[in-house]
Amino acid sequence: MKKNNKDNNKSLLDSRNVRILLSVLIAVVIWMIVTLAINPGSSTYFSGVPVDFGYDSDAYAKLGLDMVNSPEAKVKVTLKGDGGDLAAVENAGDMIVYPDFSSVKGAGEYELPLKVRLKSSQLNNLIEATADGKVTVVFDTVEEKTFDVEVEVQNGSISVAEGYVLHGTTAKPGKVTVSGPQGELDKIARIVAPLGYSDGLQDLTESKLATVELEARSADNEPVALQYVSMDNTLADVNISVYQTLTLPLKVNFINVPSGFDVNTLDYTLSQQHMTVTGRPSVLNALTELAVSDFDLANSFALDKAYQLNVELPDGVESVDNITTVTLTFNTEGLATKTVNVSNLRLINQPANMQIKLNTNRLNNVVLVGPKEELEKLSASAVSAVIDAGSVQITEGTENMAAEVRVPSSSSIFAVGSYSAECSIQVSGAGG
């Protein structure tokens, strides 16, 4: 029996398949001894691994903070562990290097250590990963402000030719939005488009367009260096508007002038006889004079009184000297007033389908103005009043209608004040 057992064992070991299996088992054991026993604490490193500043941003975002700088940084990462595990990390793309934000509690500048996370969750527990160095990061609350763009024309930077004026400057865009940390944003009071000296902006006879770089200014008008702040526009197109100038006479338009009175007999002056205005050539070339507001002769005139009248400029025309009013005065030397009762009343322009009867037989206390010598010779009978029935407002009943006082014998005497006469109105064929 013993001999048979020995023979059987010998035949088993002589089997080719058994020998191959044993060889594989021995190789595995040897590999395990080398990797686990002989080389259990290997290390390797990767250089130039970029730092991801956006990773784990919730750590500071929940505090209401924003990172106001994103410095580009690349660091060396060292890995320690068993050789087999290290072999699974092939390149820098298999890891994430990011700042450790645990110390960030509020706005300010922080020097932060770096953390490393392997993208394979299994390897994170098997490999020790460290990154060299630290990064400096600034945190703050980020806000936005919108500013009007102010054009600043520096001395001597623009000149216009004779007969022209610099009408104004406008920037496009007219507003800019500035965003950044509150601490830096609070330093900005103005956004300015400075127009400095440049060829082509001298002796202008037409409008020009210039592109300028925007500047942030403090409340003291000092430049503010923008470290972390950004603007949605850094350039502006400045339109330099150049207008032509023209000097024109001023003219008063008299209204409520009685028929037969010659306004040229009035001796009056304006505080300014002419005015220099500016505007587009197409508008100015169509003008021969400038009007001031209407003067109501009958209702506004009084001896020894001055009147402020508005200068009424057409659309697109402006005063070079920003004058908006002038003073009207009359030379009343030799003029006088006279009060009379007017009995000579006359109805004109009576509609064919109406019968109108004057109920007023006399206008009392009519005030006349004119040369003193003429007034002294004037009798009440030389004065008349005309009622124009063409302006009647009703078809039946009574109505007070305006009465125009006239002095047919004189072109230099006129009545001041308003007067009316009562009239009875009846449609033809109606009533008794």
**Alpha carbon of 283 to those of 280, 290, 293, 315, 320: distances in Å?**
5, 13, 20, 9, 15
pLDDT at 42: 82
Higher pLDDT, 167 or 253: 253
Task: Read off the pLDDT of each residue in 21-27 and give the average, rounded to a whole number.
Answer: 73
Model confidence at 1: pLDDT above 50: no
| Assigned CATH topology for domain 252-330 | RNA Polymerase Alpha Subunit; Chain A, domain 2 (2.170.120)
pLDDT at 198: 79
Amino acid identity, residue 360? T
Amino acid identity, residue 397? G
pLDDT at 33: 59
Neighbours of 178 (CB within 10 A): 21
Neighbours of 346 (CB within 10 A): 11
- CATH number at 42-139: 2.170.120.30
Higher pLDDT, 212 or 13: 212
The C-alpha atoms of residue 85 and residue 90 are separated, in whole angstroms, by 10
pLDDT at 69: 79
What CATH architecture is 143-244? Beta Complex (2.170)
Model confidence at 403: pLDDT above 90: yes
Decide whether 42-139 matches 143-244 in CATH topology.
Answer: yes
Joined together, the tokens standing for residue 430 give 């109606």
The C-alpha atoms of residue 52 and residue 42 are separated, in whole angstroms, by 27
Backbone angles phi, psi at 139, to 5 degrees: -120, 145
Count of alpha carbons within 13 angstroms of residue 281, beta-carbon side? 6
The size of the chain, in residues, is 432
Paired sense of beta strands 295-296 and 254-255, if any? parallel
H or E element: which one contains 296?
Answer: strand 295-296
pLDDT digits (tens, 9 = 90+) for 165-222: 888 899 999 999 998 888 888 999 999 999 988 778 889 888 899 999 999 999 999 9
Query: What percent of the chain has a predicted confidence (pLDDT) above 90?
Result: 53
Model confidence at 38: pLDDT above 80: no
104 and 65 in contact (C-beta within 8 Å)?
Answer: yes
| Assigned CATH topology for domain 335-427 | RNA Polymerase Alpha Subunit; Chain A, domain 2 (2.170.120)
H or E element: which one contains 61?
Answer: helix 58-61
pLDDT at 332: 93
Task: Read off the pLDDT of each residue in 401-410 and give the average, rounded to a whole number.
Answer: 94
**Extents of the domains making up the chain:** 2-37, 42-139, 143-244, 252-330, 335-427
The C-alpha atoms of residue 416 and residue 267 are separated, in whole angstroms, by 17
Neighbours of 261 (CB within 10 A): 21
Model confidence at 29: pLDDT above 70: no
Task: Answer whether 0.95 is exceeded by the pTM.
Answer: no
Joined together, the tokens standing for residue 156 give 């001597």
